[in-house]
Amino acid sequence: MIWKYVREPKPAGKENRRRHRRHRVQRTRAQIDRANAQVIDISESGVRIAGAPGWVVPGQGLSLRLIFSTLWRDVQIPVQGRVLRRGDTGTIVVYPPPIDEWPQSLAKLVRASTPMMH
């Protein structure tokens, strides 16, 4: 069965394999081992980070704290994940839902941390 999958032709070009919508964020950061890194985008199951510490490598388990800066306060969400890959466009960390009703909570946090346009 696995051989059939390996041998069958793959679609040409880039394919969006994501299950969840990514949200671009500007005022969200990730705290890894007391160092702050900028969150580029986030979804229900993953986050792309710029400026992760050099010791972070693919396949590694990782504890981090997502910090959403809102007008009222910083909201901190602890996350346990795994580093999927690291490259020029950032470090990708995948994670299970950190809290109950995560999809709804994430949508609210993204809206609350998005700068308002005047």
Q: Which pLDDT band holds residue 6 (cuts at 50, 70, 90)?
A: very low
Could you give all domains of the chain from N- to C-terminal order, each with its CATH number?
20-112 (2.40.10.220)
Dihedral angle over CA of 17, 23, 26, 29, nearest 10: -70
* Phi, psi dihedrals of residue 109, rounded to the nearest 5°: -65, -40
Neighbours of 57 (CB within 10 A): 12
Contacts of 70 (CB under 8 A, 6+ apart): 27, 109, 112, 113
Question: Distance between CA atoms of 12 and 26, rounded to whole angstroms?
Answer: 32
Name the pTM for this structure.
0.79
Question: Distance between CA atoms of 88 and 52, rounded to whole angstroms?
Answer: 12
Q: What is the pLDDT of residue 47?
A: 97
- 11-66 confidence digits (pLDDT tens): 554 555 557 788 899 899 999 999 999 999 999 999 999 999 999 999 999 999 99
Are the CB atoms for 55 and 64 separated by under 8 Å? no
Question: Distance between CA atoms of 85 and 17, rounded to whole angstroms?
Answer: 15
